[in-house]
Structure 1
């Protein structure tokens, strides 16, 4: 089946599914090898589907739903051939699919956080309505902040601000989503721009990112924060500019010598 055929089938399955995020490439592969009556197209396909079913039912070490390297299809049929991905048609590559999966996971995480924020806002609005019916003196006394003992008043509520770097200043790029390892350096380079309107591959970097030249790469397989049609992993961007979260950029002294 062609890439367009798989894409059309994926859209149809998601439209008819209560939870579209559950439509993975495993489900696409199974659908592609089923007849209209839902039966496998042949005995070989039926045997593979049975193995996939048993794999998904594992209680210990179940297959991943977010990785094409360890999902049920990969466990049953083995690693992907170079430059192709089963169940997604011609033209799909492992690096592009992995980048898409990662982006979808980030999007779902953002949606979850937004839903939590919405719940908190509703709770605050309800609390505000309840307080509006209370005695004004009680409301004032309940909201007066108690100064922290031993902390100068001038320092209370203050937060350190990140210094604004200058263009061409040396920096280290830290892992942008693995926070288990403190300050894991994945690349080194220098600042190209901190202007939110500056573009990287025709897209503005925005307020949360800086434009960075990549001079040295430590983790070549790390997916970019913003994949493009040309670059999907950090190793692709050596000698070019990328958008990187400023919270994951560490400035270094000009006399610092790059890692070797």
Structure 2
């Protein structure tokens, strides 16, 4: 009799349920009343748990699996009643907690965090949809064909940047190796042989670092360009050093001019306006401007204006042992001024203007 009922039940289950199903917000099963989470009552039973037998591993690296009983915890989201004509079966749709991270036991109580690591599940679903789309497969196939045309290198995880640094250290020179040298080194084995036949063919037909059709004239132009860039860098470093030295001299000069008189004896001391040889100079008298850094070269032609320490040049007192001169012609346009300003730094900028210059570096005609 019992076997007949089981066969009859299996027959109706095989037919499938009705196309219409009933949804409930509450349901009583096994003497327990359940409510879905959306009801949000002050007293409700929307939590569910189940002990299931599953395959377990101690970690992601563990390849040996064992069967064990795992307790799963969740919250009831939806209740659907399926009608198989002779029997009705309720189905609970639940929001399950992440067991490794969202469930823990403290002081004999099981604590469940339903929000722990749940966002990752949503990301995984979108990730799977993206990676299985037709657009992604077409893009993947495109890049796969591109990778098949690439020539293998021996840099491994070192990369071209550290390979370049290694070549500089081994050569003992400060000059950086060319792109050709770096590319050639990266596509050779330790014994100096090419990685494969395709790389060997590339060495014989074209240089991959510069593209197809490279010639000796192109290489010469590139080499000359690199040498020119090195020269420009050296000149820039030299100019930086000179500017730093000039700033130090200017700061030292301004410090000496701004030092207060410390004693009455010093305050009564006579400050000469200029050397005896230039006291009797006439306004407008022609003069030669010498390089103030000590080279002795004549860098400009000008005319004498004053040697009074109280006269101002660009709103700065002239001070002792200095002369106020006008610049008529610059023989060395790039020569630095003794007292530069924000607008006038080189001798060519001072043509037609008035500047201050050390008295000992002015030669009267």
TM range (shorter): 0.3 to 0.5
Q: How does the TM-score come out when normalised to structure 1?
A: 0.40
- Report the structure number with the largest CA radius of gyration: 2
Compare the two structures and name the one with the higher strand fraction: 2
